[in-house]
Structure 1
């Protein structure tokens, strides 16, 4: 049985861990270079825990373009996002830069560092937004979380950064046990298109969640809300944002 906490230097010689680092085909990439990149970012240990599995070992997640593993760096837990060997993207540098930009308005996991094939960032321990809402009975807590999330989306809109995938919020928003939402995965983000972060999340919260769960977590006049979302798209401002909060009865 492989230890759940493995020093990076030892991990180099473990086939199953090398498979994770070079997933899904280590022969396509220089796996040792990727271990070197982890070390250059200060990663000392790989921690085999998480909700997904690769080769019988636990990882935090795996997607179409990357694998995310739990690591220890500088004495703290962190998440290391590693580019898949078969990814259509040449590097993770663009995504890291988009995350760094989001961090300037206090959105997203904190970026610690990056290389061509690895992004080292804050480890966010939480449930995806759909699971969290489905298991939370306290409406005031839900409303508080949604308000914070909308404020984050608004800050991204104001700076002109569009996440690009928030219409599928359950894949890209985690909620901590403290009720704080965290927007993740900025690989499709862009500053070259009109941002629609707030409108995507409002539509998800107001329309998509009731469709999926049969439960309405915010009360709003549909016609008025759609009209105000249209106005917001035309003019992203404090006034148009506050009007949407009023529509959703989330003003304080």
Structure 2
């Protein structure tokens, strides 16, 4: 599927490919605001007729999809959102239409990362060009740094993200995009980070997920955003902690990165608010009127065996 682009203006003959691509991204493109006709035919044929025509050999409830809408366009595919209904439940799922075999790669790594409690839950992988997964709603990590969420939620999301990156490092999985992850992480209102786009993952003896994220967060603009939110970022200390983590990854080195970024929370304690005289609870980064609840349990994953042309169950968290 080719993107529609405007004809070059006078004097564009000597432009580089990067300059032309930058100009196309900056220019409004009405075609990206609606679902592409070819993709719509593909989705309707796969998710409407085929789902109803596939015989069922068990009592697994079927998922019906409708109202496909454009969500985002990437380098290798397009993401759409659809409403689903299954066994009396309704919600939304994200459907990624990939190119060049990317769906199989996405499914493979998303399935593996789901086992680690990482990423949007895989709902179904049934056809070579499409992957359906939990629809995660919320601002991206870049928008969160720009102030889309309160500082306490931002710091909690960054700690959660560092923990996920550490688990990927431990398993020898390199996501390869953490140093430019501004659009590949969604932040929830509860401070949970959800990683997206796994088709570029690869096995690595020296994965760089924690160090890549630290590199992203120590850019000048990101340091300014973090300090503006109240974090005491020490760039030199972050680099030293990342160097230690690269040599011998451990929970201690990850905690050192958190401390250097100024996002590591202290234990919760009670104190008296001088303005109101009421008892509040703080961990040095945020204050609450009630004692914080324990963290939620890891999400359950919904997966489908490769090659099975049927839906499994709707996502556990995908309502949005």
TM-score bucket of the superposed structures, by smaller chain: 0.7 to 0.9
Q: In the TM superposition, what are the counterparts of 1:85-164 in structure 2 within 5 Å?
A: 87=99, 89-114=100-125, 115-136=127-148, 138-164=150-176
Structure number with higher relative contact order (C-alpha < 8 Å, ≥ 6 residues apart): 2
Q: 1:46 aligns with which of 43, 56, 66?
A: 66
How far is the alpha carbon of 1:186 from its aligned partner? 0.5
Q: Distance in 2 between matches of 1:213 and 1:138?
A: 12
Q: 1:118 to 1:219 in 2, by over 3 A?
A: same
Q: Distance in 2 between matches of 1:66 and 1:246?
A: 38
How far is the alpha carbon of 1:175 from its aligned partner? 1.2
Deviates most, 165-174 or 239-248? 239-248
Q: Distance in 1 between matches of 2:176 and 2:123?
A: 23
Q: Secondary structure at the match of 2:218?
A: helix
Q: Distance in 1 between matches of 2:149 and 2:187?
A: 15
1:78 equivalent in structure 2: 93
Q: Secondary structure at the match of 1:170?
A: coil
Tell whether the 8 Å contact from 1:157 to 1:196 is kept in structure 2 after alignment: yes
Q: 1:137 to 1:111 in 2, by over 3 A?
A: closer
Q: Distance in 1 between matches of 2:160 and 2:226?
A: 23
Unaligned runs of 5+ in 1: 1-15, 23-30, 50-58
More helix by share: 1
Q: Distance in 2 between matches of 1:212 and 1:185?
A: 27
2:297 equivalent in structure 1: none
Q: For 1:79-110, what per-residue CA distance to the aligned partner results, in whole angstroms no more than 9, with x for missing partners?
A: 01012xxx3x2341111110111111111100
Q: How many residues align?
A: 215
1:10 equivalent in structure 2: none
2:310 equivalent in structure 1: none
Greater radius of gyration (CA) = 2
- Confirm whether residue 210 of structure 1 aligns to residue 222 of structure 2: yes
Q: Distance in 2 between matches of 1:68 and 1:204?
A: 25
1:25 equivalent in structure 2: none
Q: Distance in 2 between matches of 1:36 and 1:125?
A: 27
Unaligned runs of 5+ in 2: 1-33, 52-61, 267-320
1:65 equivalent in structure 2: 76
How far is the alpha carbon of 1:245 from its aligned partner? 2.1
TM-score, normalised to structure 1, is 0.75
Tell whether the 8 Å contact from 2:226 to 2:233 is kept in structure 1 after alignment: no
Q: 1:110 to 1:137 in 2, by over 3 A?
A: closer
TM-score, normalised to structure 2, is 0.60
- Confirm whether residue 225 of structure 1 aligns to residue 243 of structure 2: no
Q: Distance in 2 between matches of 1:113 and 1:200?
A: 30
Q: 1:214 to 1:178 in 2, by over 3 A?
A: closer
